[in-house]
Structure 1
Amino acid sequence: MTVPAHTPSQTQGGAIEEFLMMLAAERGAAANTLAAYRRDLTGAEELIGDLASADRKDLQGLGAQWSALAPATVARKASALRQFYAFLQDENLRGDDPSDALPRPVPRRPLPKILSHDDIAALFALAEEEAAGDAPLAVRTLALLEMLYGSGLRATELVSLPMAAIPRDAPFLTVTGKGGQARMVPVSGRAKTALSRWADLRPDDGSSHLFPSRAGHLSRIRLFQLVKALAGRAGLDPAKISPHVLRHAFATHLLEGGADLRVLQTLLGHADIATTQIYTHVDASRLVALVNERHPLAKSSTA
């Protein structure tokens, strides 16, 4: 008797649901992660039919249908399918793995935008000047800026900080990052002073959030707008500045100052050191530019 490659419960998308259940139960995948896997897998199924019974030829056809997509997008979709077929094999739902027929693009990780030390100085000079009169919103902007550049927080981590996060004795605070992972981040003396000033001026509305709003806490979009507006008032190009760019500046400037890459990984909350290593490329680019500009032979003729 021939055993079918998959049972009826695995057909017509059933295998996808079981795979997603495994990700949630065994790997603790977050809702957003599960939704992304579902989109990629059901999208592929719409193109080639039932994934559980697809063969190598079917998967080879996906490469052509994905040809207009960015390499990073193709790599993500292919990764989801590879994990799906590995799951089918582990569960003895398939005896083969056709995923080696999938394309293997090498996505080019873009270098982050870089702010110079002069750009940072201009931002802080204006933020401090505007906060000098203790106007609550100006002090709030200064506190947000200090935490973005001084501690390298992600936008979501920053806006969702609770009041209890304000450091008391130790110059650290605990934040919950991606995947629910908690980490300790440093809070400079400057940032601690700015946070204390904001805590004294913050509206007493009963909110448990450090940066409250009518919707609960300050939104990421509003933080984005505040940073852009400050950049414009400081005479900088708002298109080149965002909360994430300030986080990149924190990392890049620390690395330029001699910070260890492993320390930087911990401070940024990166699960994989490979994510942090992009900053070595940023620093290498700076060094190449320095040689081209300052080396005695840089301006000599090559003719």
Structure 2
Amino acid sequence: MKLNTAINEYLDYIELERKLSINTKATYTYGLSLYQQYLLQKNIKNIDDIKVSDINNYIIYLKKRNKLTSTIAHQLSIIKSFHKFLFLRKYINVDISITIDRPKLKKKLPVFLTIEQVDKLLDIKPVSKFDYRNKAMLELLYGAGLRISELINVKINDLNVENATIICFGKGKKERIIPIGEYIIESINDYLNIRDQFLINGYSDYLFLNNHGLKLSRQGFNKILNKILINKNLPTKISPHSIRHSFATHMLDYGADLKVIQDLLGHSDIATTKIYTQISKNKTFKDYDIYHPRSHK
């Protein structure tokens, strides 16, 4: 089978069968295009001609180009997934990628904001239509712990203000219902009152719009967030995911059950959620004071 044909079939598979998001598919598409370019330079055009040494040499090639270890690990993960797919579909007799180990990464704890930083970030007194939109977005991002992809894809019909809930579609298009608090409801209602000012063609399903009346993009949100961080003298390393991390950490600090946080975040494996126990100092110290017999005289 031609390499190009195999890649296209794999990309259809992750979109239609695995139901990965558009952004994830774009990442896989880009990763495999780099892999394909390298193989074509070596005159490898068919999947049967790929050898273990070709994959190893590609990793060496990436290292020589000073790619980050995390980038190389992610690239190898895509390649392994691709070759596993080819093997399971019986397009190749052996999955040669299983013999290659992923680079070991240093585990980094998530970056999160303090309560004071969150208060500063959300302290927006709306004057313009952009202020109303931005405040509503940030309140929802922090208040519901959404991923940025989930936030920008929220539709008006996903909101149920009366029941104080929002329907969210996470990884693999899995649906979950998240409760939303009074601050979120108030800011969204304020935004909805002026949202028509963003509309150009008269209607849009999406809740958050750009100045052209279209769904706000991930890049558009990042620009907005960065500008707000600079104006408020907050660290510019803060990302949308940092705000999601802050949601989880603060929930844990205030005594929320880990399983509840897992459900709210949409984690399929609680091991992913457990990382927040390592950064929730308040909870750790509080539990120590309560449960350790030698914590008090």
TM beyond 0.5: yes
1:187 deviation in Å? 0.9
CA contact (8 A) 2:161 2:185 kept: no
Which one of 35, 38, 57 corresponds to residue 44 of structure 1? Answer: 35
Q: Distance in 2 between matches of 1:137 and 1:173?
A: 22
2:120 equivalent in structure 1? 122
Determine if the alignment matches structure 1 residue 54 to structure 2 residue 47.
no
Q: Distance in 2 between matches of 1:269 and 1:57?
A: 39
1:263 equivalent in structure 2? 260
1:172 deviation in Å? 0.7
TM-score by length of 1: 0.74
CA contact (8 A) 2:167 2:176 kept: yes
SS in 2 for 1:217: coil
AA at the equivalent of 2:76? A
1:255 deviation in Å? 1.5
Determine if the alignment matches structure 1 residue 153 to structure 2 residue 153.
no
1:179-258 equivalent positions in 2, closer than 5 A: 179-203=172-196, 205=199, 206-208=202-204, 209-213=206-210, 214-234=212-232, 236-258=233-255
CA contact (8 A) 1:24 1:34 kept: yes
1:163 equivalent in structure 2? 156
AA at the equivalent of 2:203? S
1:89 equivalent in structure 2? 87
CA contact (8 A) 1:229 1:238 kept: no
2:276 equivalent in structure 1? 279
1:109 deviation in Å? 4.2
SS in 1 for 2:177: strand
Q: Distance in 1 between matches of 2:94 and 2:221?
A: 49
CA contact (8 A) 1:59 1:101 kept: no
Q: Distance in 1 between matches of 2:239 and 2:104?
A: 27
Give the paired residue count: 274
CA contact (8 A) 2:20 2:171 kept: no
Determine if the alignment matches structure 1 residue 64 to structure 2 residue 57.
no
**What 5-or-longer segments of structure 1 have no aligned partner?**
1-9, 292-303
CA contact (8 A) 1:143 1:194 kept: yes
**Percent of residue pairs identical:** 30
Q: Distance in 1 between matches of 2:268 and 2:74?
A: 18
CA contact (8 A) 1:86 1:97 kept: yes
User: Looking at CA atoms only, which structure, 1 or 2, has the larger radius of gyration?
Assistant: 1
Q: Distance in 2 between matches of 1:231 and 1:35?
A: 28
Change (3 A) 1:246 1:40: closer
Cα deviation code 1:26-79 (max 9, x no counterpart)? 433455444443443443342452442223333333342233432222222322
Measured on the aligned residues, the alpha-carbon RMSD in Å equals 3.2
Change (3 A) 1:15 1:247: closer
Q: Distance in 2 between matches of 1:229 and 1:191?
A: 21
Q: Distance in 2 between matches of 1:83 and 1:268?
A: 25
AA at the equivalent of 2:90? N
Cα deviation code 1:131-177 (max 9, x no counterpart)? 4xx65443333322321221112334334433334433212111223
TM-score by length of 2: 0.76
1:298 equivalent in structure 2? none
Change (3 A) 1:55 1:244: closer
CA contact (8 A) 2:132 2:190 kept: yes
Q: Distance in 1 between matches of 2:144 and 2:15?
A: 31
SS in 1 for 2:31: helix
SS in 1 for 2:109: coil
Change (3 A) 1:41 1:142: closer
1:107 deviation in Å? 2.5
Q: Distance in 1 between matches of 2:47 and 2:282?
A: 44
CA contact (8 A) 1:63 1:103 kept: no
